[in-house]
Each structure stands twice: as C-alpha cells, then as structure tokens.
Chains A and B, each alone.
Chain A
Amino acid sequence: MSGPNTDYDPVEVTPLKAEEVEAARDAALAAIAAAADLAELKQVRIDHTGDRSPLALANREIGALPPQARKEAGQRIGRARGAVNKALADRQAVLEVEHEERMLVEETVDVTVPTDRVPTGARHPLTTGAELIADIFVAMGWEVAEGPVIEAEWLNFDALNLGPDHPARTMQDTFWTDPGDDHLVLRTHTSPVQARTMLQRTPPIYVICPGRVFRTDEYDATHSPVFHQVEGLAIDEGITMAHLKGTLDHFAAQMFGEGINTRFRPSYFPFTEPSAEVDLVCFVCRGAGELDGSSCRTCRGEGWIEWGGCGVVNPRVLAACGVDAERYTGFAFGMGIDRTLMFRHGIEDLRELFEGDVRFTTAFGTEL
C-alpha cells in the first residue's frame, strides 16, 4: 500500500470515525448483496473497493494519525475491508454459477434433429461371415489358406481322387475355360486349396479355406452359379473322425450358440473315406422340429439342418499330394458360407446376397 503519509493530499482525507467506517462497510455489503449479475458486481467492486472508495480513502488516513491511534484504526479498517472482500468473493462465486447455468440453458439445441450427413457404409455379410469363421478357427490355432478361382483341372479333380471317369465329375457341373484342353476350370469347390496346401507344406497342417466357387447351376432362390464355401483340413499324427466331430461341434457352437452340435450320416465323397454328411441341430427350434406348436420352417420339422460334407482324407489324396499316409491321417470338411448365413440370419432368397442392394448390406453393419 502507500508509504509513510508524507505526500498525501489532505483534501481527500475523510474522517476516521468508527461509525463512518462501519457505515461504509455496511453500504458496501448491501450493494454487494443487491448486485444482480456479474456486471453489476463489477461496478460494486469499483465503487466500494476502488482507489476512490470510502474505505480506501480511510485507509490512507491511518498514517496521519498519532502513533497510538494508528493501531486501532488500522485494525478497524482492515476488518471492514476484509468483510467486504469476502462478501465480494462469495457473491462472485454465486453469480458465476448462476451465469453459467443461464448460459447453458440459453445454448440448448434440439439434439433430435438428424445428423446423418454422410450415409453409413457396410461390409458384405459374406465377407464378415467368412471372417467370423476364420476367427473361430484361428482361435484354435488354425490358419486361413487361399488359392485362385481359375484353377488347374488336376488340382480341382484328379488330385482329389476325382479321376476323369469318376461318376462324381458329372455330379459337379463345371465351368471349363476355352479351349477345354487348357485343362483349367472355375474351381467347383475350395478343395484345390487343400491340395495346394498339402503339396506345399509339411504336416501338421490345420487350415481352413474360405472362398468363391462356381457350378453351372441355374440362378434361383436356393441356387447360384457363384457361391461361397469354407473347407477345413487337418493333417496330423493320430487324427481320427472323433477329432472331426469335435472340431465341427465346436465350430457349430461358436457359430450358432452353445448346445448347437452336429450329427454325421454316412455319405460319399471321393476325397474322403469314410465320408459323412454333417447335419446341424436346428438353431431356431433347437432340435425340437416345432416352434409354438407348428412345424419349424427353418428345418421343415426335422430338427436338423443339412450343413455340409466331411470325412477322413482318402489316403489316395494324401498320396497324390505327397503326404506320408503311413504316418499321418487327416480329416476334411466343407460347407456353404452362403447357406450357413442364410439360416443363421433367416435370409429367404439367396439372390439377396448378390443383388448389391445397400438396404440388405447395411443391415449387417461391418461385423457379424
């Protein structure tokens, strides 16, 4: 504050009477209490604590008092100023809170208006479905193998024990490239990827092969010339059909939920022996065959859904692919990804997968 009172202006000095100090204090406190907003409070602060305020002027007079009176006057004025400053601070805090609250109310917007400036994108459920399947197997330590869709005839057929005169070759209506003696086909299954894996790697082999495959089927609600398969292949010492069953049961439970497992029926595939058809417990009626008293539409009342084919890898296939059939056995399985998703998601018409309607795709988001 000011130094020794040698240079004050005696004109400005006002009396230091106790009652006057108290009056100035009370006036200040009343003004503070009456300040309605921060702007008013700012003016009150100038008026009552500024350089020309009564308490400030009184303070300056202390130096002019006889030494014995200085102490008492100093204390009196100090108390008064302290009370005023505290009241100011308190009022400031209250008014700030009020101000902020009012401001937040004033800034209210309608948050229900649309915010979709850029439309939502999506990945195709066949892509994310194949990834979901891949993740289930990768979690078991398997790997994902891939191969070309235009494939050598030898890899698509011969190496898989489908010789030129095998009746199964007529079962699979194949797209051949022109000229036919190029011995190239649009792969009819993802099995050539299995053959490639066995030809190029040494056991143990645990791979799944998802991918696009082709058959000369007419295009309708349940058939398509282009569709998607996932096949699995395990080659190791001591592999049995029991491991096949265990793997498919695990797959089914991961894909469709706990309690959904599989059953085997004898079947025929050239690349496996013994061979089996895999049925899946209908995950809609959970095997009951009926739902709310009527026959389940998903499984047509069977309680089971045909899921795919599987079996123990035929030793002839191991031989053609260079795997020591004395030491190793293996299993293989395959199913349609399209079909799997159709019953997982209740899709009625296969063609919806290939039409490219964004309303279909975006319904699935970016992950399954």
Chain B
Amino acid sequence: MKAPASWIREYVDLPAGVTTEELAARLTALGLKLEAIVSPGDRITGPLVVGKVLTKEPEPQKNGKTINWCTVDVGAANGTGEPQGIVCGAHNFAPGDLVVVVLPGGVLPGDFAISARKTYGHVSAGMICSARELGLGEDHDGIIVLPEGAGEPGESAFPLLGLDDDVIEFEINPDRAYALSLRGIAREAALAYDAPYRDPADRALPEPNATGHPVRIDDPVGCPVFVARKVTGFDPTAASPDWMVRRLTQAGMRPISLAVDVTNYVMLEIGRPIHGYDADRVRGPIGVRRAREGERVTTLDGAERILSIEDLVVTDDSGIIGLGGVMGGETTEMSETTTSILVEAAHWDAVSMFRTGKRHKITSEAGKRNERGVDPVVTQAAADRVVELLTTFGGGTADPGVTVVGLPPEQPRITISYDLPARVTGMPIDAATTVAHLEAVGCVLEKGDTTLTATTPPWRPDLTDPFDLVEEVARVVGYDRVPSVLPREAAGRGLTREQRLRRRVGRTLAGAGCAEVISFPFVGDATFDALGLAADDVRRATVRLANPLSSEEPSYTTTLLPGLLKAVARNLGRGAPGVALFETGTVAFPADRGPAPIYGVDWRPSDDELAKLFEAIPDQPLHLAVVLAGERERAGWWGEGRDAGWADAVGLVRRLGAELGVGVDVAAARRMPWHPGRCAEVRVAGPETGVVLGHAGELHPKVCQAFGIPARSAALEIDLDALMRHARDVVPGPDFSTYPVAKEDVALVVDAKVRSVAVETALREGAGDLLESVRLFDVYTGEQLGEGKKSLAFALRFRADDRTLTEEETAAARDAAVALAAERTGAVQR
C-alpha cells in the first residue's frame, strides 16, 4: 500500500515538525511495516521553476532534426529577470504555455548536472523538462505543459509536480486490511501521536428512500448490505482533476477515466471497493444471489467464467451482470459514452470473496480488500463520496433515489479480564492502560469489576479473540517495552541418541576426507534412466508433486545419489582433481495408505485419529550416501597418488560400522547404479544378519558416463536409520588376555571364484577358541599356481586367557583351521 504523506496528513493533525521518516517509524512500531519511502524530489536539486514560453523558433538542423530556440520567462529565478534562452528538442508546446524549467546549477535524477552550454549555435541556459527527466514517469510524449494558471513564472515547480510529497509504501499484513486505505493509515497515525483525527467516511448522508434503483438481496449472509446510487447527465469526456491523477499515480494506480478514477480514489480513501455500472445498460431491478452450478458470465476482463454455487453474483433482468465484489460483467461495463452511472457500494462476505477469487484466479485491488474484510458500516458514505466526486468533476446530477438494502452485521463482543494483557505480555499493564488503549483503537467497552467486554470497531474484522485485544493493547504500549526475561530452566534430556549418532557419522566422514553436500531432493524419470534403474525398480515408485518447479523433476527422490553425482561433476568441472562428497537426508517412499485425514481444529484429535494421520504419511528414512571420484590420495614426495575405487566405498561403510559399534557383513551383489562385479551388499552382522543396510562399490561405467564423472568412481548409499538402530548402546567393558600372542601365517590356494570371506570363516571356525584374530594380508595369482587359482595369505593370532600357549597347541589350532578350510573350500596349503 502506497500512501502519499500529504494525503495521510489531510486526516490527522500531526505535531509540528514530524518528518515522513518519523511517521513511518512510528507506524512501523504499530504494525504497519515500512517498505520504502519514495521522495521523488530528493533526486532533484537546484532551481526547478515554472517558465512561460515567450518565443519558439524552429530551426532545422543538418542531421534532419528540428530543434526549437526558445525564450522563456522564468521571472526573477535567473537573477536577472531577463528571458532565458533555451534549446528544446520537443515540439508539444507553443508560446504562452507554462513549462517546467531547470536552470543552470540544477541537478536532475541520475546526477545529471545542468549548466549553460553551447549547442546548435546557441547558448542554452537550462532545460525544459519532461516527466521522464524528472523521474516522474516514462512518458515520451514531450515536455511537461502545466495547466493554464498553474503558477507564476519563476515559482518553484516542486509543489506543482508533487515532488515535495513523500510516498510511504507499507507492507500491510493480512489482518490489517483497514490499513489498505488512507482512512485506516491516518487513524493509525492519530493513534501513534494521540493526535486529532478526521474520519473521511464521517459525512452527512442523505436518507435512504424507495425511489432509488431497486435492489433485492437473496443471500444476506453473502451480501449483508447493498447501496445503490445514480448519477445522470455525466460528461464521459470530463477529465480527472490533476490532484486526483497525482494521488492515484502516487498510490500506484493507473489513471483511466474520471468515472473509473473516482471509484478507485474512493477505495483508496475510505477502503470500500466500489463498482460502477453503465446505468443505461442495466435491465430492471438488481439482484444478489449465489450462482447456479455451471452458469456463465463474461467479466470485464473479457474472460468467460463458469460459475459454482458458492459464487455470489449480481443480476438484472438479463441475467448475471457481475461477480459480486470480485469483478463486474462485460454487459454493463462503463464506456467512453456512458452518461448515466449506477454506483454500487456493497458489503460482501470475506470468505466467499476469497474462494471466488481463488477459484477464478482473479486478483484485484477490490478483491484484495473484500477478501480481507472491509468496514461494513461505510458503504453508504463511500457511495455518497463517489456521487459527490462524479457530479463535481463530471458535471452530472445526483439522482435523488438512495437505495440501501440490508444492515451491517453486528460487531463481536469479546470479554477479557483486565489483567490479561499483563499476563500474556509480561509488561506491567494496568487496567486503566488496557481500557485507554482499547478505546483508542476504537473498541466500545462495558467495564465490569474484573473483566471488560469490548465491542470491536466495524473496521477491525480481525479482532475476534481475547488475545487479539491483548495484541492491540501491547502494540499501543509499544513492543519495545517488552522486558527480556529468561524462562525457568527446563529439565531437558539433552540430545537424543540418534541426534548424537548423526553428528558422529558426519564427523567420521569428514575425518575420512569427505565433504558434506546439501542438494535438492527433486528427481524425474531422466534421473532414474541415468542411474540405469530397471523399469520395475522400486526406487522409481516415488511421491510425486502436483506442482513441481520443473516438470522434468516432479518427484521427491528415493535415492541421494543423483544430487551427489551432479555435485561431483560440478566440482570436477571446476578443476578439482578428485572429490569425496557425502550427504545425509531423507528420501521418500509412497505410503499408499489412503489420504491423510483433515480434522477439525476446535479440539485435539483422538489418539486413534492421530495414528491414522501419521499412518498416511509416506515413509521417509534417513539415508547416507557418498560418492568418491578422481584422486583420493595425492601424489607427492612420498610416492604415487591413488584414485578412488570400490574399496574406498566399502571401507567407509565398514569404518562407520566400527564407529557405531555395528558389525557389518559384506556380500557380492548386483544392483544399479553399481558395477555388477564390484558391488557389495552391506548387512548387519550377527543375529540380525538379515537387515540390509545398503550398497557400496564401484559405479557402473554407463552411470559414470551419464553423469560426466570419471570411470571407476565409487559410491555407497545406506539406510542411516537402520544403521543407527543397530548401534551399540551400552558397551560392556572389554575383557582381554595379557598372556603372549602366538602368530601363524598360512597361505592357501583356492579356486579364483572362492570368496575370501568363505575361507576366512572356515579358518575362524576351525581354529577354535584359541584364535584371537584372522586377517587376510595378501592375495596372489600367478603362473606357478595354475590357471583359475589364487593364493590367499592369512595372518592368524592365537592367545589363551590363562596361560602361555605352547608351540604344539598353536600348531594344532592352525592345522585344525587349515583342515576346515580345505574341507569347505578346497583350500590347499602352499
């Protein structure tokens, strides 16, 4: 809402010396938030005066242009009183016209300094200004020609052009619709300074009578009040007065014609949207009712609207002539030949206005006010003001008929105890203060012993609850006076275990050289294609968005890999030699457990109802993914560098398992987007060995290609929720032997297809209780082993709890281990 400061000051007597900035600050403190102060004159300095053109000599130039050599009377403003010689390129003026002249020494917007300069064979001492040069608009039609008698030559042009009038732009919150009018803003200014206020809607009104245009309201809930007035003999060519044009422009509205300008002006002034009909095109009595399903009307923007039974419509004998309160119809629209105007000022149900506007996607200044709530009491005053302005400036006659149908709804009454504002705000607000401030905002109070009952003012439909009154009192007292007090110490339980573990996971990965990424969770079919997912892959079943940002990515993701792969490509593209990125985030799988219910809000839903609500929400497990590409270890004086590979990904999962105390088992698997021969499925070890945590390994070459990252890049993705669920809680103190260790190395030759884990498991079981650990330390293939064979070298460590092992005991355990490995895997000791 843009409000010219001069217009605000028309209704409130502010203390002397209050600047626009101070006023805006005080209004902001009351809840009308300052967006900007526009001071058009601020960018202009120096002599900007009224000039009277004395002579104008057209002089054609070699370049084909014609310039005008003018002499202009600028009074005494140039210090000499002599006419000022000025070259002007515009032609839209004649000797005798009043123009706006900037004299040498002046500065126009854009730091455009004016000086006397030689041009086209003359010394041009100043400039005749266009609206554009003054920053007043984009008008290209030439220089500004002031109306006859607008001022005397030499007089400052600032006030004539409104250049000295600041415009305050406010951001108006939806609850303060009354401030979408000068009436409302001025009322707040009066409240801010406790200053005298003149209500522009407070005017002597003619008595309603039966001779006006007949109106029938069939839906008094949707339209409680309808006022109709008529102006006849209106001159459709009459121009809007300059002050009205200026104010509309300042308020950000485009001047159109007197009839339209007047309705807009009154809407800005009083806040009540007005509709004007061409009275000669209205057929018979006006009616207000709800539409029937499927009825149609063409609104004055030319669109045909198919109506629903919730839409409020205005009718005449021809049918529907407008969407009440939202937009008029085409058939009764005012035109440049309209001489008879039927003025409608009606009060509409805000919820209906909101729904109709939303249904038909109509946003308008009128709709904005009607859907947020307008003072229902000022309908007649607004109509009367429109009639006054139309007849004053359009030469018409006010028809004596005054139609007023319906009554404004009763205002709500709210009872609060006197101390409620103090109890809610923590400010020392006494009963007298509460009373004074509620009265100041317009409430009418009935004062009891401990409680008061406030009848809210009609321009404040937002005041419905006790706490609304608390806010009114608090903002008048001043939010800056709210004390700063810490609440009592709460008996908190600290971070949850899961929150702590999540931090640990992040730190572990960062410690392993991975950098965290946060990416957008939106994907589409192309993403899944690039990952090589089969048509029936479960990850293609997504939660889809009804209104995605991009139709290419309409789904909430089921995997974190795409975002990471894109970030990896971006980093490498920007010159990183290698990168390891990780992300933790939720993915989503559709629940398909029916729509989520919508409950009432007057009381808490039952536990069963809540369970049903939670049940309908898609599963959103927390995932963790890592992608490693390019250089993993740098080359240096220590030796060669090393690129990331499958083992880095598997290693990171094992490391996380160790960090969280979760044993993980690794098995070969096939799953896109991984390389079919280099993909590990990771499971929880131990009794819950069925739980799959996720996958790790080298990415499929096609996937690397699709995302533009190096071949052999590696990745892992696991269900972090599942990993954390298996994290060890209370770790029992370890018990270990301090007797000497006995070490035995064995090299076993097996078929190349035998998994090392199978041999290791057999060794472990065969070795018995004396075995402390077994570790694969070398894998060898070579000619002397023969085709299709490999040698696995294991380091076995033996230790007893109660004694030093003898060589015989150790050898026996080792032999038992090798024997079981031989039996299970065909291993032959080298």
Contacts and interface: CB of A to CB of B under 8 A. Distances in A.
| Interface size class of chain A, counting residues whose CB lies under 8 Å from the partner chain | 35 or more
A274 B475 contact: yes
Given A163-B601, A273-B471, A118 B517 contact: no
Given A320-B604, A356-B581, A117 B489 contact: no
B476 to A, nearest CB: 10
A177 B544 contact: yes
Interface stretch (A41-49, A69-77, A143-151, A291-299): A143-151
A161 B492 CA distance: 28
Contact of A161 (B515, B546, B567, B601): B601
B79 interface: no
B175 interface: yes
- Most A CB contacts (10 A, CB to CB) among B29, B33, B596 go to B596
A119 B595 contact: no
Interface string A158-201: 11010101011011000111111111101000000000000110
A320 B602 contact: yes
A240 interface: yes
A250 interface: yes
B344 to A, nearest CB: 24
Interface string B485-503: 1111111111110010001
B470 A273 contact: yes
A120 to B, nearest CB: 7
B262 to A, nearest CB: 28
Contacts of B610: 199-200
Contact of B173 (A178, A242, A268): A268
Contacts of A143: 492-494, 496
Contacts of B601: 158-159, 161, 163, 316, 319-320
B422 to A, nearest CB: 9
Given A153-B596, A265-B479, A268-B175, A356 B546 contact: no
A229 interface: no
A243 B423 CA distance: 12
Given A152-B617, A186-B556, A264-B480, A354 B492 contact: no
B519 interface: yes
Given A149-B586, A243-B486, A183 B471 contact: no
A333 B452 CA distance: 30
Interface residues of B, number: 112
A250 B633 contact: no
Contact of B506 (A127, A155, A225): A127
A361 B516 contact: yes
A144 B441 CA distance: 40
Nearest to B371: A167
Contacts, number: 305
B372 A167 contact: yes
B518 to A, nearest CB: 5
Interface in A200-247: 200, 204, 206, 212, 216, 219, 225-226, 234, 236, 239-247
- Most A CB contacts (10 A, CB to CB) among B425, B465, B512, B633 go to B425
Contacts of A339: none
B782 to A, nearest CB: 30
B532 interface: no
A122 B516 contact: yes
Given A144-B499, A154-B613, A268-B174, A241 B546 contact: no
A316 B603 CA distance: 9
A114 interface: yes
Interface stretch (A8-16, A79-87, A133-141, A280-288): A133-141
Contacts of A199: 604-605, 610
A134 B617 CA distance: 26
B520 A354 contact: yes
Nearest to A135: B495
Contacts of A343: none
Nearest to B571: A358
Given A138-B492, A320-B604, A265 B570 contact: no
A122 B580 CA distance: 10
Contacts of B486: 140, 243, 246-247, 250
- Most A CB contacts (10 A, CB to CB) among B554, B566, B617 go to B617
B633 A183 contact: no
Interface in A276-331: 276-277, 312, 314-316, 319-322, 329
A243 B490 CA distance: 13
Nearest to A358: B515
Contacts of A154: 596-599, 613
Contacts of B413: none
Contact of B519 (A142, A244, A268, A354): A354
A108 to B, nearest CB: 15
Given A242-B485, A265-B29, A277-B33, A357 B479 contact: no
A152 B616 contact: yes
B544 A121 contact: no
A155 to B, nearest CB: 7
A148 B586 contact: yes
B484 interface: yes
A308 B576 CA distance: 37
Contact of B633 (A117, A151, A240): A117
B432 interface: no
A87 to B, nearest CB: 44
A179 B546 contact: yes
A168 to B, nearest CB: 6
Contact of A206 (B427, B490, B568, B617): B490
B571 A275 contact: no
Contacts of B31: 265-268
A177 B543 contact: yes
- Most A CB contacts (10 A, CB to CB) among B29, B358, B515 go to B515
B471 to A, nearest CB: 3
A122 B508 CA distance: 10
Nearest to A311: B471
Contacts of B512: 118, 121
Contacts of B494: 138, 143
Contact of B595 (A181, A243, A273, A275): A181
A113 B475 CA distance: 65
Contacts of A152: 596-597, 613-614, 616-617
B545 A123 contact: no
B255 interface: no
B511 interface: yes
Nearest to B638: A117
Contact of B496 (A144, A179, A358): A144
Nearest to A170: B358
Contacts of A155: 613
A89 B638 CA distance: 42
Given A152-B596, A265-B29, A321 B604 contact: yes
B574 interface: yes
Interface in B608-636: 610, 613-614, 616-618, 620, 631-634, 636
B535 interface: no
B400 interface: no
Given A177-B544, A247-B487, A150 B515 contact: no
Contacts of B496: 143-144
Contacts of A35: none
Interface string B537-549: 0000001111111
Given A183-B595, A358-B579, A246 B484 contact: yes
A353 B520 CA distance: 11
B483 interface: yes
B647 to A, nearest CB: 14
A22 interface: no
A236 B487 contact: yes
23 contacts: A122-B515, A134-B499, A151-B617, A152-B597, A154-B597, A154-B599, A163-B601, A179-B546, A183-B598, A186-B545, A226-B521, A241-B425, A247-B486, A264-B479, A265-B31, A268-B31, A274-B424, A312-B425, A312-B470, A353-B518, A354-B519, A354-B520, A356-B566
What are the 6 A-B residue pairs with the smallest beta carbon separation, nearest first? A242-B426, A322-B604, A356-B567, A240-B426, A266-B31, A274-B471
